[in-house]
């Protein structure tokens, strides 16, 4: 093609048709410019198509993260719903001293109230989306704002509540250790001191009460986080036509 245009130019110059040559030269420049513009348009279209696919894949990852988190929370909530009433039994004195002393299963059921779920919130998809928004702020939408709120404000509140319950559990278990009841229970297989502490130790009761309150607060925060995440899953699926 280049040789073809070059031959036309040479013919025009040889025949001394300068006017036609310049018109032809201008036309050739226009064609080159148009070709460049078309190439740039195609390149931009390809870039936008690639970007759109990347964003879609990121939202797919966010949905996966939220679904995994929801499943983990749901599993832990089921356990918490079993444990919390047992906590209330301890606080209200609705437990049998003789059964705690004589039945291993009965004692372990209440001993295992000393714990809290350790839930890991996967933020990989959201962090990928944030890195994209930093490069192109036009990607910031109402949906990304809602996701950002979930992974910043809501997650921060959840982490605060998790720390609150963890700190109270640590204080309670430290008191149990300091009273020496675990040595008798674990080493000597004698839980008499442990049972007496449950019924008679005022400090234990106060610490256990605060722990149970923080435990319930954390459970409600988990439920709220899961519900907010599920709403966003539905929004993402609707907007990006995901199954």
Q: What is the DSSP string of 101-114?
A: HH-HHHHHHHHTTS
Token representation of residue 173: 């278990």
List CB contacts of 189: < 8 A, sequence separation 6 or more: none
pLDDT in tens, the chain (243 residues): 445 445 555 554 555 545 554 554 566 666 666 767 776 666 666 667 778 888 999 999 999 999 999 999 999 999 999 999 999 999 999 999 999 999 999 999 998 888 888 888 999 999 999 998 888 888 889 999 999 999 999 999 999 999 999 999 999 999 999 998 888 888 888 999 999 999 999 999 999 999 999 999 999 999 999 999 999 999 999 999 887
pTM (two decimals): 0.79
């Amino acid at each position: 093609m280049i040789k073809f245009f070059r031959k036309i130019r040479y013919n025009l110059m040889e025949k001394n048709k300068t006017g036609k040559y310049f018109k032809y030269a201008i036309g050739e420049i226009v064609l080159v410019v148009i070709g460049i513009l078309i190439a740039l348009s195609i390149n931009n279209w390809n870039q936008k198509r690639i970007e759109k696919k990347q964003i879609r894949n990121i939202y797919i990852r966010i949905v996966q993260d939220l679904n995994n988190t929801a499943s983990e929370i749901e599993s832990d909530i089921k356990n918490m719903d079993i444990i919390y009433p047992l906590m209330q039994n301890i606080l209200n004195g609705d437990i049998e001293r003789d059964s705690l002393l004589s039945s291993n299963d009965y004692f372990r059921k209440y001993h295992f109230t000393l714990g809290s779920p350790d839930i890991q919130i996967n933020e990989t998809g959201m962090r990928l989306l944030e890195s994209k928004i930093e490069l192109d702020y036009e990607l910031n939408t109402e949906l990304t704002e809602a996701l950002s709120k979930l992974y910043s404000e809501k997650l921060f509140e959840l982490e605060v509540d998790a720390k609150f319950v963890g700190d109270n559990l640590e204080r309670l278990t430290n008191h149990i250790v300091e009273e020496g009841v675990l040595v008798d229970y674990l080493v000597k297989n004698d839980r008499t001191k442990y049972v007496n502490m449950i019924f008679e130790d005022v400090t234990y009761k106060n610490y256990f009460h605060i722990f149970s309150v923080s435990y319930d607060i954390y459970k409600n925060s988990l439920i709220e986080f899961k519900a907010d995440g599920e709403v966003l899953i539905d929004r993402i699926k609707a907007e990006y036509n995901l199954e």
